[in-house]
């Protein structure tokens, strides 16, 4: 009879181990696929940081354009959409600013609210 007890314990351990391997016991465990299928929404803080970085990148692109007066241009970014506002000395600079903003990585659209500033104003 004493020989049966260790054999019964061994058989029980084997059944439990086999159950874990087959996934029978892990009914409440989440698979790694479920976690990667639904990405978490970005936080407000990370969204603001991304918008600030995109606006900074656009401003940097604008300053690289030869002959473009950037001192009165403000840039706002919101999820890839960029708005240029302010004044420039002539109409050609409005087009230059738009093209430079569109060419910046991460920009999905450009709204140009630039106006022409008369010389001396």
Distance CA 107, CA 82 (A): 7
Do residues 88 and 69 lie in contact, with contact meaning Cβ atoms separated by under 8 Å? yes
CATH fold of 44-116 reads 3.30.1340
Q: What is the mean pLDDT of residues 115-119?
A: 84
Mean pLDDT of the chain: 82
End-to-end CA distance of the chain: 107
Decide: 62 and 98 in contact? Cβ < 8 Å.
no
Task: Determine if residue 53 is left, alpha or beta; phi over 0 gives left, psi from -120 to 50 gives alpha, anything else beta.
Answer: alpha
Looking at residue 88, its pLDDT comes to: 94
DSSP 3-state assignment of 79? coil
Asked if residue 101 has pLDDT above 70, the reply is yes
């Amino acid at each position: 009879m004493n020989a049966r007890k260790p054999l019964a314990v061994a058989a029980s351990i084997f059944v439990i181990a086999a159950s874990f391997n087959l996934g029978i016991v892990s009914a409440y465990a989440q698979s790694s696929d479920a976690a990667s299928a639904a990405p978490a929404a970005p936080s407000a803080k990370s969204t603001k940081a991304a918008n600030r970085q995109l606006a900074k990148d656009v401003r940097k692109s604008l300053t690289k354009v030869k002959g473009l007066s950037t001192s009165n241009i403000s840039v706002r970014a919101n999820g890839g959409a960029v708005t240029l506002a302010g004044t420039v000395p002539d109409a050609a600079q409005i087009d230059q600013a738009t093209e430079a903003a569109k060419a910046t990585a991460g920009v999905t659209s450009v709204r140009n609210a630039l106006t022409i500033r008369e010389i001396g104003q």
